[in-house]
Amino acid sequence: MNRTLAVVFALLCLASARASGSHHFRWANPTPQGNELRALAAESEQTAYAVGIRGTVLRTADGGDTWADLTDFNAFSADLNDVVVISPGVLMAAGESPGLFRSDDAGRHWAAVDNPAGVELWNIEAVVPGVLSAIGEGGEVLRSADGGETWTRLTPTGATRLTQQFWHSPVAGYVVGEYQGRVTDDGGLTWNLIPGFGEWEAIDDVVFLDALHGYLIADFNTWETLDGGMTWEDHQHLLNEPIYQHEALFLEEERRLVITDLEGAGLWQTLDNGESWEILYQRESAGGFLDIEPLTPDRLLMVSTDGDLLVTTDAAVSWTNFTHSFGGEERVDFRVIAHLPGNVLLVGGEPYVTADNPNLWLRSQDGGDHWFAMDVYPEIENLYDMDHWGDELVMVVGSGGHVARSLDGGHAWETGIIEEPAGLLDAVSVPSATTAFVLTRAWNASEVYRTIDQGATWHRRDTGLPSTGDFYDLFFVDENVGFACGGMTSSPEIYGTIDGGGLWTRLAGADQLLGTLHTMHWFSPTTGLVAGYYRIFRTTDGGASFTEVDLSDGARCMHFHDDLHGVASDVFGSVRTTADGGQTWEPVPVPNLSQSRILSMPSGFLMTGDASLIIQAAREPAGVTAAPRLTRASIHLSSSPNPFSEGCRIHYRAPEGGVARVEIFDVVGRRVRLLRGGPLPQAAGTLSWDGRDDAGRLLPGGAYLARVRADREGAARSVTLIRR
pLDDT band at 385 (very low <50, low <70, confident <90, very high): very high
| Planar angle of CA 119, 120, 125, nearest 5 degrees | 110
Rounded distance, CA 180 to CA 157, Å? 10
Asked if residue 657 is part of any domain, the answer here is yes
Rounded distance, CA 318 to CA 304, Å? 16
pLDDT digits (tens, 9 = 90+) for 495-520: 999 999 999 999 999 999 888 899 99
Residue 688 and residue 598 share a domain: no
Report the range out of 242-256, 323-337, 626-640 with the highest average pLDDT: 242-256
Rounded distance, CA 601 to CA 126, Å? 49
Residue 589 and residue 477 share a domain: yes
pLDDT digits (tens, 9 = 90+) for 82-91: 999 999 999 9
The answer for residues whose C-beta is within 8 angstroms of residue 33's C-beta and 6 or more apart is 27, 56, 58, 69, 71, 307, 613
pLDDT at 610: 52
Higher pLDDT, residue 22 or 456: 456
| 31 pLDDT more than 50 | no
Overall domain count for the chain: 3
Q: Count how many Cα atoms sit within 13 Å of the Cα of residue 363 in the half-sphere of its side chain.
A: 15
Asked if residue 436 is part of any domain, the answer here is yes
Report the range out of 380-394, 407-421, 435-449 with the highest average pLDDT: 380-394
CATH number of the structural domain spanning residue 505: 2.120.10.30
Residue 476 and residue 362 share a domain: yes
pLDDT at 466: 86
Residue 527 and residue 401 share a domain: yes
Among candidate residues 293, 321, 349, the one where a domain is terminated: 321
Mean pLDDT value across residues 129-141: 95
pLDDT at 514: 85
Residue 518 and residue 608 share a domain: yes
C-beta neighbour count of 489 within 10 angstroms:
16
Asked if residue 672 is part of any domain, the answer here is yes
pLDDT at 93: 97
Residue 436 and residue 308 share a domain: no
pLDDT at 215: 95
pLDDT band at 713 (very low <50, low <70, confident <90, very high): low
pLDDT at 620: 37
pLDDT at 3: 31
pLDDT at 138: 92
β-pairing, 517-522 vs 528-532, is antiparallel
Mean pLDDT value across residues 677-683: 67
Asked if residue 481 is part of any domain, the answer here is yes
DSSP for 331-398 reads -EEEEEEEEETTTEEEEEEEESS-TTSPPEEEEESSTTSS-EE-SS----SS--EEEEETTTEEEEE-
Asked if residue 10 is part of any domain, the answer here is no
Q: Is the dihedral of CA 218, 98, 670, 398 positive or negative?
A: positive
Q: Identify whether the C-beta of residue 631 lies closer than 8 Å to the C-beta of residue 646.
A: no
pLDDT digits (tens, 9 = 90+) for 141-184: 999 999 999 999 999 998 989 999 999 999 999 999 987 799 99
Among candidate residues 321, 347, 380, the one where a domain is terminated: 321
Residue 380 and residue 256 share a domain: no
| 44 pLDDT more than 70 | yes
The amino acid at 536: I
Residue 513 and residue 386 share a domain: yes
Residue 501 and residue 387 share a domain: yes
| 456 pLDDT more than 50 | yes
Among candidate residues 275, 300, 321, the one where a domain is terminated: 321
pLDDT at 82: 97
pLDDT digits (tens, 9 = 90+) for 184-205: 999 999 999 999 887 777 899 9
Residue 255 and residue 394 share a domain: no
Least Cα distance to 339 among 367, 362, 380 occurs for 367
Asked if residue 679 is part of any domain, the answer here is yes
Higher pLDDT, residue 527 or 623: 527
β-pairing, 12-14 vs 614-619, is parallel
DSSP state of 718: E
Asked if residue 62 is part of any domain, the answer here is yes
| 360 pLDDT more than 60 | yes
Residue 342 and residue 291 share a domain: no
pLDDT digits (tens, 9 = 90+) for 537-584: 999 999 999 999 866 678 888 999 999 999 998 877 778 889 999 999
Rounded distance, CA 542 to CA 605, Å? 28
Domain extent, residue 686, equals: 633-721
pLDDT digits (tens, 9 = 90+) for 619-635: 433 333 333 333 333 56
The answer for residues whose C-beta is within 8 angstroms of residue 639's C-beta and 6 or more apart is 648, 649, 650, 651, 706, 717, 719
Residue 422 and residue 308 share a domain: no
| 412 pLDDT more than 80 | yes
